Structure 1
Amino acid sequence: MFTIEQIKAAHSKVKSGADFPAYIKELKQLGVRFYETFVFDGHTEFYGNEQEKISSDSKYENLEIAENSNVNQFVIDLKLHQKGQTDYPTFCVDCAKAGVEKWAVNIEKLTCTYYDKVGKELLIEKIPQ
């Protein structure tokens, strides 16, 4: 079973969205199969093969998630982050402003799905390998 310390070590190598594919590869090697990150406080719930589940601590003070999502602005912010032009805290603030409540990563399918407060899928993207 993977540990939160192993996940933190993998995440410590992520400086921007450009580092995301390598992070996903490392999580897969640890046995993580799925995770959800909640924008309001930055905590993440990680799931493995055998009903394993661990949660990280909150990463920052609670953010208010916009009631109405703005997918167009979110896509602009996401692309900037993926190019390494914003750091993780900035990306989380941008997500909250755009109405993104959480994202879910399916490591087996290599997808990342972003959701609003009512659970509507805002964007599904393939994770590059």
Structure 2
Amino acid sequence: MRMMTTAILSVTLAGFVATSGHAGLRDERDITAGLLAIAVADKIRRSCDDVSGRLWVARSYLNGLKAIARERGYSEAEIDAHVNSSENKAEMRKMRNAYYKSKGASNLDHPSLCRLAREEVAAQTQAGKFLKVK
């Protein structure tokens, strides 16, 4: 069940952070910030043996972001187009890696990500709320 949940979350996250030709959803700063927090935590949990993801918390948060998009008038088709674009997947990775760099970590340096995980959890950041240090 855990692997299925992990797979579902990863696929959903990877898709939802994508952007379509529709600039509107991409420009929703709070949604983008929320997606960035999920992306930060997702990479960390996959990189660190002593960190696990709070997958149900992240999934619930992601569903909340989708609900916000719908409340703001975005159609399911627009959200799906946003989900299926590869352009923003690359952009979200760039944003995620820039966040790591700003915190003295690197996506290529697993020990630095594990250190960052402990800091994020201790500071109770949004990304930290999606992580659990074992």
Q: TM-score, normalised on structure 1?
A: 0.30
- Structure with the largest fraction of helix: 2
Q: TM-score, normalised on structure 2?
A: 0.29
